[in-house]
Chains A and B, each alone.
Chain A
Amino acid sequence: MHAVASVRGVEDALGIRIPDNARILRNLIAGIQYVQDHVIHFYHLHALDWVDVTSALRADPAATAQLAQSISDWPNSSADYFKAVKDKLTAFVQSGQLGPFANGYWGHPAYKLPPEANLMAVAHYLEALDWQRDVIRVHAILGSKNPHPQTYLVGGMSITLDPDSESAINADKLALIRKLFVKAKQFVDQVYIPDLLAVASFYKEWAGLGEGLGNFLACGEFPDAAGTLLFPSGIILNRDLSTLHPLDHTKIAEYVTHSWYQYGEGDTASKHPWDGETRPNYTGPKPPYEFLQTDGKYSWLKAPRYDGKAMEVGPLARVLVAYVAGRTEVKALVDAVLAKLGVGPEALFSTLGRTAARGIETAVVAGKLISWLDELATRMADKDLKVHNGEKWDPATWPKEAKGWGFHEAPRGALGHWVRIVDGKIANYQCVVPSTWNASPRDAKGQPGAYEAALIGTPVQDPEQPIEILRTIHSFDPCMACAVHVVDARGRELTRIRIDGSM
């Protein structure tokens, strides 16, 4: 969702206010993105850290049906249904071609779910594949495509609203979007959240592991008509939930001390993104290599810091900031989840807390989508169809120099784009993305980033099968999942490649 951060950067630089309809459309597109992205993350990336697919083969379908019906009124929960899933899974495993499942640490003692919970999770893994495809059609309707919807403009949106036009957003399309939002919310409330709670209840020790920095940054997202953010912006330091510090983006600066870049004024300096430089300077060994010298430069990521401190961004940061700010929707859900699991707020500072926060904010956003859509429909009924403010469209109206900051809470966390404009052209442009914050290397003072800090003290039962590391890294929803897998030498089984001689 870089598009929204980039247009907001220019809007901030030029002082452009977007129409309310554009604000709502941006919320709708980003909102359904959260819901889809987080569900995919849970079932298709993170669940395999907790769910043993092979154990599901030993599940009793009738007992699985009982379990499913005890935690949710989701209709796909009969013994016959789970038997059909088990049969499919059995045939799949017998085929011997497990694809990504082949790299799972199946049978690892760290897996704690009973076979029936594993089978239920596999069934929902499969259901989520069809569900996610359907609900993200909202992006095609509002933004022409997914991923990377195409409707963002500086000053608003390009999709037109017109109840009387077949090609614009009209009553039919609003009705279709509403149907998809209902479907999105049903799955979150009846499948994702019950599954999350069921899985979490078997892994409560992970509420005491993987904490990390204890510093959290949120830039905030989902403005309403008054400009109030559903997830507010703010800073939490040293896990102190009594104080919310305001976010001042001018306190953000990036180090390259341990990064393969160089700064004109030396590599111990830090630079605010408006003055940022991105000059690659690779000093590492020639690949392929066994290891990197971490006392020197060792990463392609810069090290962003807030007022000199390393910060965690993402769902946990957003939920904690909203919790401390007293946002009622968020606070009620957090307290309900904590009560259900029988743990206190300190449990949130953990791998499990990160994974739970992702579910909590999904439920909050899924609950908002329909009311945002209703707001748009009401405005359209009142004949307000404006989606774009073109006052500053002509570069002749711009000042000689301008600079701006565009923020967006992407599903993975706080995203910032900084732009400086001189004589109508971009003079400097820098992005600080969520995975740069969370996966950052050390800074000039040697302070680690969030991933590194979160792994310290994690017990690993079997160094050959470090599932505990994956659980914590995946809890951040890394943009770099492959890198975590690649250092694992398993799966390097030789495959015969046939060269077609006729070619």
Chain B
Amino acid sequence: MGKTLVLGLGNILLRDEGVGVRAVQRLAERFAFSDDVQVLDGGTLGLDLLHYVEEADRVLIVDAVATGNPPGTLVRLSGDEVPAFLGIKISPHQMGLADLLAASRLRGRFPRELVLVGVEPEIVDTGLELSPSVAAQMDALLDRMLAELARWGVQPHARRRDAQAENRLATVGREEGR
């Protein structure tokens, strides 16, 4: 079924700006994946991530996106919507993401499936903690990521003795089965 990349982007020194990185960290803490799934903290790298994106058939990007909605709102973009949206340039590291998606398209190596799950930030300012409204959405964000992965047939395993994670998987499984 090919390779899947889960890519968290953002700057963890700017509070909610780092929500994508926080999300993939949490995903990797709670769940184990098979070898064809890579969970990657992309930080603020741009073109340096090109080859990770090109080597994957499916890419799930998690990032803070400013859309003017209430803080904590989850947004989903897919396929061509992602680079089009990035054209608006809402944060410096996304210039890099737009660059790399365009480059991979030009090279004919654009991922077959691309989904961006975004979180509306509340506070983008120096600091390590997520804002309360974004922190409160982390479980919902994780569920959304698992649902996207489940749609692609990616079935993670909860790490041992993590009952919360097992429940989460069970819930996602039911929703997908609906």
Which A residues have a C-beta under 8 Å from some C-beta of B? 40, 44, 88-89, 91-92, 95, 97-103, 126, 129, 133, 146-147, 481-482, 485-486, 491-493, 495-500, 503
Q: A99-B98, A126-B107, A491-B89 in contact; A497/B74 too (CB < 8 A)?
A: no
Question: Which single residue of chain A is at the shortest CB-CB distance from B86?
Answer: A99
* B140 x A503 contact (CB < 8 A): yes
Some 26 contacts from A to B, beta carbons below 8 A apart, are: A40-B47, A89-B106, A95-B105, A97-B102, A99-B87, A99-B102, A100-B98, A100-B102, A126-B103, A126-B106, A133-B48, A133-B50, A146-B48, A486-B89, A492-B88, A493-B88, A495-B84, A495-B85, A495-B87, A495-B88, A498-B76, A499-B69, A499-B75, A500-B76, A503-B140, A503-B144
Q: A482-B92, A495-B88 in contact; A88/B98 too (CB < 8 A)?
A: no
Q: A99-B105, A491-B89, A492-B88 in contact; A44/B47 too (CB < 8 A)?
A: yes
Q: Give A486 to B92 CA distance when docked, in angstroms.
A: 10
Q: A88-B107, A498-B76 in contact; A99/B88 too (CB < 8 A)?
A: no
* A129 x B75 contact (CB < 8 A): no
Interface residues of B in 106-151 (CB under 8 A from A): 106-108, 140, 144
Q: Give A100 to B76 CA distance when docked, in angstroms.
A: 22
By secondary structure, the A interface counts as helix
The 6 closest A-B pairs by CB, nearest first: A99-B102, A500-B76, A503-B74, A92-B106, A497-B67, A482-B92
Interface residues of B in 57-74 (CB under 8 A from A): 67, 69, 73-74
Q: A147-B48, A485-B89, A491-B87 in contact; A497/B108 too (CB < 8 A)?
A: no
* B50 x A99 contact (CB < 8 A): no
Instruction: Tell me, rounded to whole Å, the shortest Cβ–Cβ distance linking B107 to chain A.
Output: 6
**In the assembled complex, B99 has its CB within 8 A of some CB on chain A:** yes
Which B residues have a C-beta under 8 Å from some C-beta of A? 45, 47-48, 50-51, 67, 69, 73-77, 80-81, 83-89, 92, 95, 98-99, 101-103, 105-108, 140, 144
Q: A99-B98, A99-B101 in contact; A497/B77 too (CB < 8 A)?
A: yes
* B75 x A91 contact (CB < 8 A): no
Q: Give A495 to B66 CA distance when docked, in angstroms.
A: 12
New contact pairs (13) apart from A44-B99, A499-B75, CB-CB < 8 Å: A44-B47, A92-B106, A97-B84, A97-B105, A99-B105, A129-B47, A482-B89, A491-B87, A495-B81, A495-B87, A495-B88, A498-B76, A503-B140
Contacts of A500 in B (CB 8 A): 74-76, 144
* B89 x A129 contact (CB < 8 A): no
Question: Which single residue of chain A is at the shortest CB-CB distance from B103?
Answer: A129
Q: Give A86 to B74 CA distance when docked, in angstroms.
A: 40
Q: Give A103 to B102 CA distance when docked, in angstroms.
A: 12
Question: How many Cβ-Cβ contacts under 8 Å join chain A to chain B?
Answer: 86
Contacts of A102 in B (CB 8 A): 87
Interface centre among A97, A492, A500 (most CB of B within 10 A): A97
Instruction: Tell me, rounded to whole Å, the shortest Cβ–Cβ distance linking A399 to chain B.
Output: 33
Q: Give A498 to B75 CA distance when docked, in angstroms.
A: 7
Q: Give A495 to B83 CA distance when docked, in angstroms.
A: 10
Q: Give A493 to B67 CA distance when docked, in angstroms.
A: 14
Question: Which single residue of chain B is at the shortest CB-CB distance from A485?
Answer: B89
Q: Give A101 to B102 CA distance when docked, in angstroms.
A: 8
Contacts of B144 in A (CB 8 A): 500, 503
Instruction: Tell me, rounded to whole Å, the shortest Cβ–Cβ distance linking B124 to chain A.
Output: 11
Q: A92-B105, A499-B73, A503-B74 in contact; A481/B95 too (CB < 8 A)?
A: yes
Question: Which single residue of chain A is at the shortest CB-CB distance from B97?
Answer: A99
Q: Give A97 to B82 CA distance when docked, in angstroms.
A: 10
Contacts of B77 in A (CB 8 A): 497-498
Contacts of A101 in B (CB 8 A): 102
Question: Which single residue of chain A is at the shortest CB-CB distance from B137?
Answer: A503
Q: Give A499 to B86 CA distance when docked, in angstroms.
A: 16
Q: Give A467 to B96 CA distance when docked, in angstroms.
A: 21
* B99 x A100 contact (CB < 8 A): yes
Contacts of A485 in B (CB 8 A): 89, 95
Contacts of A496 in B (CB 8 A): 81
Contacts of A497 in B (CB 8 A): 67, 75, 77, 85
Contacts of B48 in A (CB 8 A): 133, 146-147
* B83 x A99 contact (CB < 8 A): yes
**Contact for B107 among A103, A129, A498, CB less than 8 A:** A129
Contacts of B73 in A (CB 8 A): 499
Q: Give A101 to B106 CA distance when docked, in angstroms.
A: 11
* A97 x B95 contact (CB < 8 A): no
Question: Which single residue of chain B is at the shortest CB-CB distance from A503?
Answer: B74
Instruction: Tell me, rounded to whole Å, the shortest Cβ–Cβ distance linking A235 to chain B.
Output: 33
Instruction: Tell me, rounded to whole Å, the shortest Cβ–Cβ distance linking A49 to chain B.
Output: 15
* B99 x A88 contact (CB < 8 A): no
Q: Give A95 to B102 CA distance when docked, in angstroms.
A: 11
Q: A493-B87, A495-B87 in contact; A88/B106 too (CB < 8 A)?
A: yes
Instruction: Tell me, rounded to whole Å, the shortest Cβ–Cβ distance linking A110 to chain B.
Output: 22
* A98 x B102 contact (CB < 8 A): yes
Q: Give A91 to B110 CA distance when docked, in angstroms.
A: 13
Question: Which single residue of chain A is at the shortest CB-CB distance from B141?
Answer: A503
Instruction: Tell me, rounded to whole Å, the shortest Cβ–Cβ distance linking A503 to chain B.
Output: 4
Q: Give A92 to B109 CA distance when docked, in angstroms.
A: 11
Instruction: Tell me, rounded to whole Å, the shortest Cβ–Cβ distance linking A38 to chain B.
Output: 14
Contacts of B81 in A (CB 8 A): 495-496, 498
Instruction: Tell me, rounded to whole Å, the shortest Cβ–Cβ distance linking A137 to chain B.
Output: 12
Q: Give A88 to B108 CA distance when docked, in angstroms.
A: 7
Question: Which single residue of chain B is at the shortest CB-CB distance from A122?
Answer: B106
Q: Give A489 to B83 CA distance when docked, in angstroms.
A: 18
Contacts of A40 in B (CB 8 A): 47
* A129 x B50 contact (CB < 8 A): yes
Q: Give A498 to B81 CA distance when docked, in angstroms.
A: 9
Contacts of A147 in B (CB 8 A): 45, 48
Instruction: Tell me, rounded to whole Å, the shortest Cβ–Cβ distance linking A247 to chain B.
Output: 32
Q: Give A101 to B95 CA distance when docked, in angstroms.
A: 11
* A100 x B105 contact (CB < 8 A): no
Interface centre among B67, B98, B106 (most CB of A within 10 A): B106
Instruction: Tell me, rounded to whole Å, the shortest Cβ–Cβ distance linking B64 to chain A.
Output: 14
Q: Give A482 to B89 CA distance when docked, in angstroms.
A: 9
Instruction: Tell me, rounded to whole Å, the shortest Cβ–Cβ distance linking A246 to chain B.
Output: 38
